[in-house]
């Protein structure tokens, strides 16, 4: 079994609620995942960052933070996918990397798919005003990618509703 197969198995175990088997699989693959996240090959790093989410491995969130600064758009995208997955039940995951997500969104040179993924991650976090303003600005930016504008507008509206519900 390779890391991709182990991650798929971990995703199955997490989905079925087999916590003990999942913990055992994490222990078995810990060193290999760490090594892949530090690989010189962007494909291995991307796989490692994606596997963290599939393993539901909250203890590896620091690796995902590093993944957000990776030189490869594929690796950054994989880290974002895992952050989105981990943050569905734990908004603190998004809140802890919010400045990095804002930086990705503000950088017009950033890969457009990566920027869209950063928008989607923000939907799972809290709804601070600066995030909403940034997303609304993106949704109104005629120079931005149409899909990015649409996603930013949708997430901004969702965060506004979330903020109003808290009041």
pLDDT in the model for residue 99: 94
Q: What is the pLDDT of residue 72?
A: 95
- Catalogue the E-assigned strands of the chain: none
Residues contacting residue 68 through CB under 8 Å, at least 6 positions apart? 76, 79, 80, 83, 97, 100, 101, 104
pTM, rounded to two decimals: 0.92
pLDDT at 166: 73
pLDDT at 167: 66
Tens digit of each residue's pLDDT, the chain (167 residues): 999 999 999 999 999 989 999 999 999 999 999 999 999 999 999 999 999 999 999 999 999 999 999 999 999 999 999 999 999 988 888 988 999 999 999 888 789 999 999 999 999 988 899 999 999 999 999 888 899 999 999 999 999 998 888 76
**Nearest CA among 154, 74, 148, 88 for reference residue 118:** 148
CA angle in degrees (0–180, nearest 5) for 162-98-42 = 125
How far is residue 57's CA from residue 50's CA, in Å, rounded to a whole number?
Answer: 11
């Amino acid at each position: 079994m390779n890391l991709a197969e182990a991650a798929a198995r971990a995703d199955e175990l997490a989905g079925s609620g087999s916590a003990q088997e999942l913990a055992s699989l994490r222990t078995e693959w810990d060193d290999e995942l760490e090594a892949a996240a530090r690989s010189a090959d962007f494909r291995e790093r991307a796989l490692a960052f994606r596997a963290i989410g599939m393993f539901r491995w909250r203890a590896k969130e620091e690796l995902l933070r590093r993944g957000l600064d990776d030189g490869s758009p594929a690796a950054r995208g994989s880290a974002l996918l895992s952050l989105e997955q981990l943050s569905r039940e734990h908004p603190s995951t998004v809140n802890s990397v919010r400045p990095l997500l804002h930086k990705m969104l503000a950088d017009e040179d950033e890969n457009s798919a990566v920027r869209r993924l950063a928008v989607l991650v923000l939907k799972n976090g809290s709804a601070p005003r600066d995030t909403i303003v940034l997303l609304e600005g993106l949704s109104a930016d005629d120079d931005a990618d149409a899909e990015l504008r649409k996603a930013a507008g949708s997430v901004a509206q969702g965060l506004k509703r979330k903020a109003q519900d808290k009041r």
